[in-house]
Every structure is written in C-alpha cells, then in structure tokens.
C-alpha cells in the first residue's frame, strides 16, 4: 500500500518537476483540501482552453493573441532574448523597460548535444529579417557556461545584420539563474548592459 502511494507521489514529482520532499507536501495538500480537485480542474481547463505558446516569440498567448507580439504598447524593435519562459516573468515583473521578448527554450549544451538549431533560434533570425527596424537585441541568458556560450553564438551569428547586440552587465554572479536574482541586481544588470 505504501509502495503504491510512494509511486504516485514520485509520479507527481516528475509531472510537476519538483523535489521529492515537495512532492510529499503537495500530496498532503491534495489529500487534505476538499476544494482542491475543483480548483485545479478550473485552473487546468482555463490554462488549456485559453493559453498557448506564441509561434513568433515562444511566450504565452491568451486566446491566440500574444501578450507581447500583439501588444501595440510594446516596442517591437527591441528584443530581449531569454532562455526560458520563467526568465520573462523575472525580467518583466522587475523592469519598466519597453521591449518584447524571445524565448529560446533553453541554452546550448554540448554534453546533451543541444545546439542553436534545437532551440528557438531560427525563428529569432526570421523576426530580425522581417522587421528591418529592430535596433537592439538584448541577450539575457543565464551567466552559466551554457548561457554565455549561447549568447556568444548569437552575437557572432547576428553581426551581419548590423544590429546593436548587448548582454547583461557582469554584476550578476556567474552560475546564477535569473529567477533567483534580487530586484536591484537585475535592474542594475539591465541598466549597465553592454
């Protein structure tokens, strides 16, 4: 009986990509909360029926309208390139800058044989080629070996377009993930990018 429960909890762990300890906590919340099933059912239906991934920037779109690409108040001529969707939230929630985003879906990883072609890199190039008014590409990749490698490859590739290309300032500690940075560090990294 305990083995079956443990198996279900580990399935929950893999489904939610959380730690083993957190999966036990989530299982306890599910079991003890009477409204949990209804709340989650409503949440999942809302997410599934109303949200999808934009084929242009690879962020969320609501009812087939991208939250960035279709927003006329957003400067479409400045693109901030990030590795993951969670990075968009970390940046957008902390900065007042006016730019759109492009989510790569990861970083180059030579050990896992992930190169730019396996990421959402070619759609970025398509955006650059279609919009001749792009004046800056901001590379906000993580300051890890893979993040830096990704940023450097992108810089080398887009040189031919003669577009200003900046990276986050080096005040961000090496090996850190953007989602864990404090507001001041993140704001300064963007302010002092170069």
Q: Give residue 22's pLDDT.
A: 81
User: pLDDT category, 97, cuts 50, 70, 90?
Assistant: confident
Average pLDDT over residues 15-22: 77
Q: Which residue has the higher pLDDT, 16 or 166?
A: 166
Reply yes or no on domain 60-191 having CATH 3.40.50.970: no
pLDDT at 64: 92
Q: Exposure string (b/e) for 1-39, b if CB count within 10 Å is 16 or more?
A: eeeeeeeebeebbeeeeeeeeebbebbeeeeeeeeeeee
Could you tell me if 112 and 56 are in contact, meaning their C-beta atoms sit under 8 angstroms apart?
Answer: no
Average pLDDT value over all residues in the chain: 87
Of the candidates 103, 24, 90, the one whose C-alpha atom is nearest the C-alpha of residue 59 is 103
CA distance 165 to 139: 7
Task: Please state the pTM of the whole predicted model.
Answer: 0.78
Both ends of the chain: CA-CA distance in Å?
58
Residue 5's pLDDT band, with cuts at 50, 70 and 90, is low
pLDDT in tens, 101-150: 999 999 999 999 999 889 999 999 999 999 999 999 999 999 888 999 99
Residue 43 has pLDDT above 60, yes or no: yes
Q: What is the pLDDT of residues 164-176, one digit of tens each?
A: 999 987 667 777 7
Dihedrals φ, ψ of 115, to 5°?
A: -115, 180
Task: Express each pLDDT in 46-93 by its tens digit.
Answer: 888 999 999 999 999 999 999 899 888 999 999 999 999 999 999 988
Radius of gyration for the chain, computed over Cα atoms and rounded to the nearest angstrom = 19
d(CA 19, CA 29): 15
pLDDT, greater one: 122 or 40:
122
Does pLDDT of 29 surpass 90?
no
What pLDDT score was predicted for residue 12? Answer: 66
Task: Please determine, for residue 194, whether its predicted confidence score (pLDDT) is greater than 70.
Answer: no
Q: What is the pLDDT of residue 99?
A: 93
**Domain range summary for the chain, segments of one domain joined by +:** 2-53, 60-191
Q: Answer yes or no: are the C-beta atoms of 149 and 107 closer than 8 Å.
A: yes
């Amino acid at each position: 009986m305990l083995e079956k429960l443990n198996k279900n909890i580990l399935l929950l762990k893999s489904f939610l990509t959380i730690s083993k300890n957190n999966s036990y906590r989530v299982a306890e919340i599910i079991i003890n909360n009477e409204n949990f099933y209804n709340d989650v059912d409503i949440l999942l239906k809302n997410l599934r029926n109303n949200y999808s991934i934009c084929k242009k920037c690879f962020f969320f779109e609501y009812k087939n309208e991208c939250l960035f690409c279709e927003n006329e108040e957003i400067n479409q001529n400045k693109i901030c390139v990030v590795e993951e969707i969670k990075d968009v939230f970390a940046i957008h929630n902390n900065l007042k800058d006016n730019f759109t985003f492009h989510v790569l879906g990861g970083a180059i990883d030579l050990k896992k044989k992930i190169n730019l072609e396996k990421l959402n890199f070619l759609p970025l190039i398509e955006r650059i080629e279609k919009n001749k008014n792009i004046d800056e590409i901001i590379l906000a990749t993580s300051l890890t070996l893979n993040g830096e490698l990704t940023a450097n490859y992108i810089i080398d590739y887009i040189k031919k377009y003669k577009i200003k290309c900046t990276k986050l300032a080096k005040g961000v500690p090496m090996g850190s993930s953007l989602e864990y940075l404090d507001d001041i560090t993140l704001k300064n990294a963007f302010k002092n990018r170069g």
